[in-house]
Amino acid sequence: MVAETLFAVRRNARLYRRSLGAVVRAVLEYVADFWILIAAGIVTQSLGLVFLSVVMSRVPHLNGWSYPEMVLIYGLAGVSSGIVPVLSDGIWQLASFIHNGQLDYALTRPAPPLMQVMSAWVGFNGVGDLVASAAMLTWALTRVDVHWTPLNVLILLILMISGIALRLAMCVVANTVSFWLRMPMPMFAMTAWQVGELARYPLGIYGFGLRFLLGAAAPFAFAGFFPAAWLLDRGGYAWLGILTPVVAVLWWIFAVWLFRRGLRRYDSAGH
Partner 1 sequence: MALLEAHDLTKTFRRPEKDPGLRGSFKHLFQRKYSTKTAVGGVDLSIEAGEAVAYVGPNGAGKSTTIKLLTGIVEPTSGEVRIGGLVPHRNRVANSRQIGVLFGQRTQLWWDLPVRESLALLRDMYDLSPDRFRAQLKRFDEVLGLDELLPVVARKLSLGQRMRADLACALLHDPRIVFLDEPTIGLDIAVKDRVREFLRQLKAEGTTIMLTTHDLGDIEDTCERIVIIDGGRVIYDGSLAQVKDRYARERRVHLQLGSELTVTELADRFPQATVTAGAEGRREFTIAFDKAELTAGAVLAGVAQIAEVLEVKIDEPAIEDVVRKVYAGELLLAEGSTP
Question: Taking CB under 6 A as the rule, does residue 267 contact ligand ATP?
Answer: yes
* Entry field: residues in the chain: 271
DSSP 40-90: HHHHHHHHHHHHHHHHHHH-S-BTTB-HHHHHHHHHHHHHHHHHHHHHHGG
Partner that binds at residue 15, options partner 1, ligand ATP, none, CB closer than 5 to 8 Å by kind: partner 1
Query: x/- site string to ligand ATP, residues 215 to 234, per CB under 6 A?
Result: --------------------
What backbone torsions phi and psi does residue 71 show, to the nearest 5 degrees?
-65, -35
Question: Taking CB under 6 A as the rule, does residue 264 contact ligand ATP?
Answer: no
Contact (Cβ atoms closer than 8 angstroms) between residue 186 and residue 88: no
Partner that binds at residue 112, options ligand ATP, partner 1, none, CB closer than 5 to 8 Å by kind: partner 1
Contact (Cβ atoms closer than 8 angstroms) between residue 87 and residue 93: no
Give dist(CA 75, CA 59) in Å, integer: 20
| Residue 65 β-bridge partners | 62
Q: What's the closest the beta carbon of residue 173 comes to ligand ATP, in angstroms?
A: 24
Give dist(CA 256, CA 258) in Å, integer: 5
Q: Which is nearer to ligand ATP, 191 or 268 (CB)?
A: 268
Site residues (CB under 8 A) for partner 1?
Answer: 11, 14-15, 18-19, 22-23, 25-27, 29, 101-105, 107-113, 264, 266-268, 270-271
Task: Pick from 13, 183, 246, 269 the residue near ligand ATP by CB under 6 A.
Answer: 269
Q: Which is nearer to ligand ATP, 58 or 264 (CB)?
A: 264
Q: Which residue is nearest to ligand ATP (CB)?
A: 270
- What are the distances in angstroms from CA 19 to CA 24, 100, 194, 227? 9, 22, 28, 32
Partner that binds at residue 123, options ligand ATP, partner 1, none, CB closer than 5 to 8 Å by kind: none
**Footprint on this chain of ligand ATP (rule: CB under 6 A):** 267-271
